[in-house]
Every structure is written in C-alpha cells, then in structure tokens.
Amino acid sequence: MLETDKIFAGSIPENYDRYMVPLIFEPYAADLARRAASLSPDTVLEIAAGTGAVTRILAPKLSADATYTVTDLNQPMLDYAASRQPPDSRIRWRQADALALPFENAAFDLVCCQFGVMFFPDRMSGYREARRVLKPGGHFLFNVWDRIEENIFAHDVTNALAEMFPDDPPRFLARTPHGYHDIALIRRDLEEAGFSHMTIETRAEQSRAPSPRLPAVAYCQGTLLRTEIEARDAEKLDAAIEHAASAIAARHGSGEVAAKIQAHVIMAVA
C-alpha cells in the first residue's frame, strides 16, 4: 500500500458514511456486532472504527456496565462517528494508531476491527498490539475483503478507470482494501503474532443501490480512489464517475442494481 492509502480526511468521512457504508459495510457490521455481542465482553476495544458503522450496531448490544473504547487513526473519521452516536457513557472515543495502541497490556476482553487491517502498513505490529492489549483468552474479531474479482462493483469501477487512465490506472481498491485476502497468509500472520484457535469464515452478501451511478459515486468520492483520480487529473473526477456509472449500467442495467460482495470473517484467541 502507499503512504497516502490511510489518509481518510477532507470530504472523505462524510461521503464514505453517506455512500459507502450503506453500499457495502452495513451487512458486515451487523454480522461483526452479532458475533462480538455473543461473546458477552465487558471491555471492548474497536480499532480503525471509521465513521462508526460497527459502533452504532454493537453499542446497544453490550451490557449496561460494559466499556467500549472506540478508536481510529484519523480524527475526522472518529468525529463523524461520534456525531452520529446517541449519548452513551460507556463509550470512550480516542484517536489511536492500531500499530501503537495507547493502552495497557491485558486491558480488553475483545478487540474488534471491521475492514481495517488491510490499511496497516505493518500488519504484524498491528496484530501484536491487538494481542498485547487483550487479556489472555480474549478474542480478536475482524474482517477483510476477499479478492476484488469477488466484489463486483469495486472490480467494475477499477476496470472502468483503467480504460480512462490506461498509462497509470488507479489501483487503490485492488491494492489496499482488496489486497489482503489470502486465508493461509492471514492464518500464518496471526500465528506469528501469537494468536491461536483461528476460525475464518468466507461470507458473501449483496451490494444494492437505487441506480448504477451510486456505486460509481461511492467508490470514486467516498474512498481514497478520489485522491488517486485527482492526482492524475484534478478536473476529471466527474468524468471518472460518469464513465464508471456507464460501465456498471452496461453490465447491471440502468435501474436498481445489485451485485455480489464477499469477505472473510476471522476470530482468533490471544
């Protein structure tokens, strides 16, 4: 991944939450929250929480005396999450780099992370930090996207942009969010970080949108693909969206559209 692949700021938090979260994150947030709550944790740490897609679903499921520490590297993402969360004295918001967590050893029963580990420049440091702050026997619960070919709209948008910028195609989606999907590698990395009892489930869902334009806007404006498009030609963002929308319409129709998304859901014990 590139250094810029982790800067979620400017208009990204709002566009991310408005377009991307309903398009692809909500079904997996419901799944992760259900799994997290079934462990009945008293002390929960969420890392790379973004605009709070998981937080909003998990908080109401935790017990009244639980504490829920919600963190992200980028303060603008966390500010957006906090602005959408009803008042809740159990939640502590804190800016934190998952690679250097500002918490004591063995402080949490559960560390959860939705679609965040792909953004860690040094994944092993992130895994070791998650293990360090977990109590022995505590759980690390997270998910990662499967390969881009299993995530149809992301693949369509990436292919459309490659037609538009043939000499230097914007590859953010393939490189980073869809760049860490090898189950054997994930298992090896977790083992090396000291985790055991790994379970990995591959889960398909449907991504739905009222029109082909919405996934095009979501990926081109609500992700760091925007930064990549504008770096190639600051004037071409709208044209890129229209080109991606036409490609999606050609493949999926001009009305409501739906296509497969797929992710791996991982649980490991510290």
Ligand X SMILES: C[S@@+](CC[C@H](N)C(=O)[O-])C[C@H]1O[C@@H](n2cnc3c(N)ncnc32)[C@H](O)[C@@H]1O
- Is residue 217 close enough to count as binding ligand X by CB under 6 A? no
Helix (H) / strand (E) element for 29: namely helix 26-38
| Choice from 74, 158, 207, 227 touching ligand X (CB under 6 A) | 74
d(CA 256, CA 191) in angstroms, rounded, equals 43
Among 62, 66, 98, 245, binds ligand X (CB under 6 A): 98
Nearest Cα to 220, choosing from 153, 144, 150? 153
Stretch that binds ligand X, among 94-102, 232-240, 242-250, 252-260 (CB under 6 A): 94-102
DSSP annotation string for 32-95? HHHHHHHT--SEEEESS-TTTHHHHHHGGGS-TT-EEEEEES-HHHHHHHHHHSPP-TTEEEEE
- Do you know the residue count of the chain? 270
The yes or no reply on residue 143 touching ligand X (CB under 6 A) is no
CA 208: distance to chain centroid? Answer: 18
Residues 110-139 that bind ligand X (CB under 6 A): 114-116, 119-120
Residue closer to ligand X (CB basis): 102 or 137: 102
Beta strands, E only, the chain: 43-46, 67-72, 91-95, 108-114, 134-145, 196-209, 257-269
Distance in angstroms (rounded) separating the CA atoms of residues 192 and 120: 16
Contact status: 72 vs ligand X (CB under 6 A): yes
Give the pairing type, strands 257-269 and 196-209: antiparallel
Q: In the complex, what is the shortest distance from the CB of residue 1 to ligand X, in angstroms, rounded to a whole number?
A: 9
Name the minimum Å distance from CB 269 to ligand X. Answer: 22
Q: Which two tokens stand for residue 114?
A: 């939705």
Q: Does 146 participate in binding ligand X (rule CB under 6 A)? A: no
- Is 73 a binder of ligand X (CB under 6 A)? yes
The yes or no reply on residue 49 touching ligand X (CB under 6 A) is: yes
Chosen residue from 23, 37, 44, 54 binding ligand X by CB under 6 A: 54
List 24, 36, 48, 245, residue binding ligand X (CB under 6 A): 48
2 lines the binding site for ligand X (CB under 6 A): no
Shorter beta-carbon distance to ligand X: residue 51 or 207: 51
**Contact flag: residue 77 with ligand X (CB under 6 A):** yes
Closest to ligand X by CB, 51 or 151? 51
Interacting residues with ligand X (CB under 6 A): 6, 8, 21, 25, 29, 47-51, 53-54, 72-74, 77, 97-99, 114-116, 119-120
